Chains A and B, each alone.
Chain A
């Protein structure tokens, strides 16, 4: 599976960045995310429960960050094992750009699934991943813009995500910058649920 797209988060870079550095926000934003553990500056593990069509499984994933070019982007790659449900592996190239008041995330995800996930879910994965990605952005945008005077903007900002996802162009994405593990984590989680979700 390959997907690419971009997503605008209607918040300042600072806001986005803060959110991306808040594990609690991330965990809330990532559908099905149960655990996140940092294992080094550039790697971490996560547990995500995901359902693709009829296949439901808990995936244990490990993720590495490479090609880090703070604050412009990096590559994140990972692998998740879902037991009898199969496996998923893949990666994403992520770029971050300023965009007016907001922050634009561009991403290209490439992923492979295997075993029952591929057998039963192949045609569901794209759609599921897009849906999960837009859920993430919705959750994330809501969390990082909460309490802002831009509150009126926030719903409007979030709105394009589902719309563009529905148009079949977009997906998940990610983010960011400074080379801390947390930012990678977001991508990882998104990759994970893009893959597993």
Chain B
């Protein structure tokens, strides 16, 4: 036994370099002869580019070149593509207006790229950018979705009413029928607040062009270098894969925001061939705020139909989703297939209908952010169910239990396309109720009252679809790529192993978790195993990391490649030990012949594979190096229950999260410590969304929350000590039986927090508060309640 296999809380091997300043991030890389870029960005949310005069800038000291959108257009550079095509209710495809990497003729959000200045130093590039004279024809901006849909001002002239698509899922007639026979109808209007991702490392890129080979290289802060190579190479710059290398080295956090193909990547790569030298660009923090794709930003109206006893009969949802000024890579899939397909939640609601309109506005594009669609769905459902409990006078715990899918109902076909493969929501719910001492809450509430505090408790139960995704299913739903994963397991002659994975680690700890899989498989310690990812010249192919897919999809690929290695090694062992291959057994790193004391160590076989003096050469090739591609059978479906308890100071509106309990079913746990860390991180972001974070554009499309003075990230002192546990049933749709843990914290937690706050404020008659529930907002709600009560 190695002690580093599946189930061990192995310390993260990558942390040594991260914590000692030895990480190799894009900005740490410098190429010989490198120049530096500065991107001139639009200060206007919407304007025509009447002229861009670069004549002074090109003459400035140190400047190598200045390019504008006109230059790229003249070169036939393509539009940045969207990776997922959605269809309207009438079957027609969504609107896909052009998205030039450098704005051409028009700018559409504050931060839109207008020109690139390439100079010997970053300061020289920046100073020269000041000399570019842009004549903007300022146009009215559309920022809120209702104004956009009214269509007075068009973000794209060829998109009427700024509507990207008007999509639906579910059975409208069945839902209408359900509502017709309902005893109770409960409705709610919600905003899911827009978030700014704030990865610790800002985006950065270095491009290079080799004149002797016509080979392009791009180092970039990406969660999926092969996807960038495909999107940028095939659609934007027309560079074939064999002439384009994309490297995503250490990446300091992504949370989704580094999935997408960003304009800067294409601009730099294109320009490198113009100036014949490497070009480096690193975003400033304020550029990150203004130009990283934002998350969430939904407005929804939802209605739940219930019978007399509280049984859910039907659910109707109408959502408007802000998609920003351009379609980002997965912008269209987030508010549709990653959102409305989860509307059954953990409940047996028999009839569900959801319609979603996505709207172009003069704001930065909106795309996936930790949870991507599933937090929006969970927030809607769990707010609505809690409101239903209150409105019709049923205990929120009982109402949930009465409607939950029972363990024996899996696989459970929902009315909104997905089939949940396995799960046990009642069990995680029960555990969370127990762990949070839900039964003892009323006493704690009474105690809090004595010290003048309002105490509340909030529940959220959820199920989510991750491990994206079976390629055939995704393709049928409009994905323009497969969503399998690949692995190459290369056993070296002396028995150490390098694994090339198509997923990408940007904080998740794959170098540890994946090594544990190999350690388990080969019976060798993890210090003999290297996990390599991020370089398209090294890794065969891959779809990258997002949607909690790396272990659920990338893991089985590694496992399958390991099994291929073992199969071949057994043949070698059989030959050398003169036994029948069916008699060869492999365990704990040793090949043995059944019923004898003959054995060979793993490293002896690997050496034999590369020094094939005594080798079954007629039967197998030398070497021990295997590939596997894995396409999952289904999504995986983590689920769980989150319970939040808060105390509010009615004098100040200050909300203190007293306790937060999360019981999550993530299937098999490979590294419990890393899983716990992932849940903690997700909860911090979920509590951030619920209480602190909110992106604000003014009516002119100016970003007002563009720095940490105005955009509040959660800090340690905003958070309680989390009580987290995992429990549940093993995943049913992949051989590792894992489900995915990266997003659950951010998915389940926001409604638990808001439900707790509303529970605390219920005695004052407050029945709604929007995220982020800041102290000011809570205080305001309390004041309005006082005024209301005084009037009564």
B424–chain A nearest beta-carbon distance, Å: 47
B616-633 near A? 1/0 per residue, CB < 8 Å = 000000000000000000
Q: Which residues of chain A (90-124) have a CB below 8 Å from chain B?
A: 112-120, 122-123
A119-B289, A123-B709 are contacts. A112–B43 as well, Cβ < 8 Å? no
- Asked if B710 and A122 sit within 8 Å, CB to CB, the answer is yes
A132-164 near B? 1/0 per residue, CB < 8 Å = 000000000000000000000000000000000
Q: Which residues of chain B (452-499) have a CB below 8 Å from chain A?
A: none
- Asked if B702 and A118 sit within 8 Å, CB to CB, the answer is yes
> For residue A118, which residues in chain B have a CB less than 8 angstroms away from its CB?
43, 110, 698, 702-704, 706
- Asked if B698 and A116 sit within 8 Å, CB to CB, the answer is no
User: Is B286 part of the contact surface with A, judged by Cβ < 8 Å?
Assistant: yes
User: Is B323 part of the contact surface with A, judged by Cβ < 8 Å?
Assistant: no
CB-CB nearest in chain A for B284: A116
- Asked if A119 and B706 sit within 8 Å, CB to CB, the answer is yes
> For residue A123, which residues in chain B have a CB less than 8 angstroms away from its CB?
704, 709-710
- Asked if A116 and B43 sit within 8 Å, CB to CB, the answer is yes
> For residue B709, which residues in chain A have a CB less than 8 angstroms away from its CB?
53, 120, 123
A50–chain B nearest beta-carbon distance, Å: 15
B703-725 near A? 1/0 per residue, CB < 8 Å = 11011011000000000000000
- Asked if B702 and A119 sit within 8 Å, CB to CB, the answer is yes
A86-B43, A87-B43 are contacts. A120–B702 as well, Cβ < 8 Å? no
A120-B286, A120-B707 are contacts. A84–B698 as well, Cβ < 8 Å? no
CA–CA, A21 to B666, complex, Å?
Answer: 76
Interface of B is mostly: loop
- Asked if B130 and A84 sit within 8 Å, CB to CB, the answer is yes
User: Is B510 part of the contact surface with A, judged by Cβ < 8 Å?
Assistant: no
CA–CA, A135 to B82, complex, Å?
Answer: 53
CB-CB nearest in chain B for A83: B130
- Asked if B700 and A119 sit within 8 Å, CB to CB, the answer is no
- Asked if B707 and A84 sit within 8 Å, CB to CB, the answer is no
B66–chain A nearest beta-carbon distance, Å: 14
B146-168 near A? 1/0 per residue, CB < 8 Å = 00000000000000000000000
- Asked if B286 and A116 sit within 8 Å, CB to CB, the answer is yes
B402–chain A nearest beta-carbon distance, Å: 48
Q: Which residues of chain B (628-654) have a CB below 8 Å from chain A?
A: none
CA–CA, A53 to B710, complex, Å?
Answer: 13
Partner of A120 from the list B45, B129, B706 (CB cut-off 8 Å) is B706
B584–chain A nearest beta-carbon distance, Å: 65
Partner of B703 from the list A53, A84, A112, A119 (CB cut-off 8 Å) is A119
A195–chain B nearest beta-carbon distance, Å: 13
A115-B43, A118-B698 are contacts. A84–B126 as well, Cβ < 8 Å? yes
> For residue B43, which residues in chain A have a CB less than 8 angstroms away from its CB?
86-87, 114-118
> For residue A119, which residues in chain B have a CB less than 8 angstroms away from its CB?
110, 286, 289-290, 702-704, 706-707
User: Is B40 part of the contact surface with A, judged by Cβ < 8 Å?
Assistant: yes
- Asked if A84 and B706 sit within 8 Å, CB to CB, the answer is no
> For residue B710, which residues in chain A have a CB less than 8 angstroms away from its CB?
122-123
CB-CB nearest in chain A for B136: A87
CA–CA, A5 to B261, complex, Å?
Answer: 49
A36–chain B nearest beta-carbon distance, Å: 22
Q: Which residues of chain B (37-60) have a CB below 8 Å from chain A?
A: 40-45
Q: Which residues of chain B (486-527) have a CB below 8 Å from chain A?
A: none
CA–CA, A53 to B709, complex, Å?
Answer: 11
CA–CA, A53 to B290, complex, Å?
Answer: 18
CA–CA, A113 to B710, complex, Å?
Answer: 16
> For residue B44, which residues in chain A have a CB less than 8 angstroms away from its CB?
87, 114-115
> For residue B703, which residues in chain A have a CB less than 8 angstroms away from its CB?
118-119
A114-B43, A116-B286 are contacts. A122–B130 as well, Cβ < 8 Å? no
> For residue A86, which residues in chain B have a CB less than 8 angstroms away from its CB?
43
B286-302 near A? 1/0 per residue, CB < 8 Å = 10011000000000000
- Can you list 18 contacts pairing A with B, beta carbon distance less than 8 Å? A83-B130, A84-B129, A112-B700, A112-B702, A115-B41, A115-B43, A118-B43, A118-B698, A118-B706, A119-B110, A119-B290, A119-B702, A119-B706, A120-B286, A120-B707, A120-B709, A122-B698, A123-B704
Apart from the given pairs A84-B126, A114-B43, 9 other A-B contacts in the complex at a CB distance below 8 Å: A86-B43, A114-B45, A114-B110, A115-B110, A119-B286, A120-B706, A122-B702, A122-B704, A123-B709
9 A-B pairs with least C-beta separation: A115-B43, A119-B706, A118-B702, A86-B43, A83-B130, A114-B43, A122-B704, A119-B703, A120-B707
